[in-house]
Chain A
Amino acid sequence: SAVISQKPSRDICQRGTSLTIQCQVDSQVTMMFWYRQQPGQSLTLIATANQGSEATYESGFVIDKFPISRPNLTFSTLTVSNMSPEDSSIYLCSVPGLALQETQYFGPGTRLLVL
């Protein structure tokens, strides 16, 4: 299975500021996904990050609010910009396993609280 790390593991931020979350994978992967889990809710896909191309955003998520970088096949960042209390969530990155369709692994998540 893929080993995925995320930094920071948690943070408390003031509204109006931005936070960049890092995701590192121990193997090269073509696709990385960023999900959001709001308190007490399920997971919602924010965007798919492909190396060498622009990220693909899901409905309701825009690049200005959640810019994503994918500089290489093992690393990605998600920035939460101009934060408000509604951005308080767990943010998780995810990658497909070697059996692409049959597994998908998640990082440990970043717990964000916006005051």
Chain B
Amino acid sequence: AQKITQTQPGMFVQEKEAVTLDCTYDTSDQSYGLFWYKQPSSGEMIFLIYQGSYDEQNATEGRYSLNFQKARKSANLVISASQLGDSAMYFCAMREGGADSSYKLIFGSGTRLLVRP
């Protein structure tokens, strides 16, 4: 069965430094997608970045990059130059299946990031 594991319940980072949030996954599918979301205290889920299982390059979106290591089944999120507004809960999620999949997502337990001034 598919599973997403985030082993860091909480993380601190100094403003302007980089931080890595860990995510490992388990799936028997060859085709899958990995997502990262940010959830501030307001509760909304903000889509950050996506990595497909067949993508050879690591995904990047502005200050966010995804360190995808397929053999290790890990998809860590790297946030560069942390800002105070990055303080939030971060969720890793996985979608299994190819073009005919249901597109539903399975979420990890989340990591709470606090950026210190």
Q: Is B117 an interface residue (CB 8 A)?
A: no
Contact between A104 and B109, CB atoms less than 8 A apart? no
- Residues of B bordering A, CB below 8 Å: 33, 35, 37, 42-45, 47, 50, 52, 91, 93, 95, 99, 101-110
Chain A interface secondary structure, helix, strand, loop or mixed? strand
Chain B interface secondary structure, helix, strand, loop or mixed? loop
CA distance A43 to B35 in the complex (A): 13
How many A-B contacts if CB must be within 8 Å?
61
Interface size in chain A (residues, C-beta < 8 A):
27
Q: How far apart are A19's CB and chain B's nearest CB, in angstroms? A: 17
CA distance A43 to B37 in the complex (A): 11
Q: How far apart are B74's CB and chain A's nearest CB, in angstroms? A: 18
Question: In the complex, which of the residues B50, B91, B95, B99 contacts A43, with contact meaning CB atoms closer than 8 Å?
Answer: B91
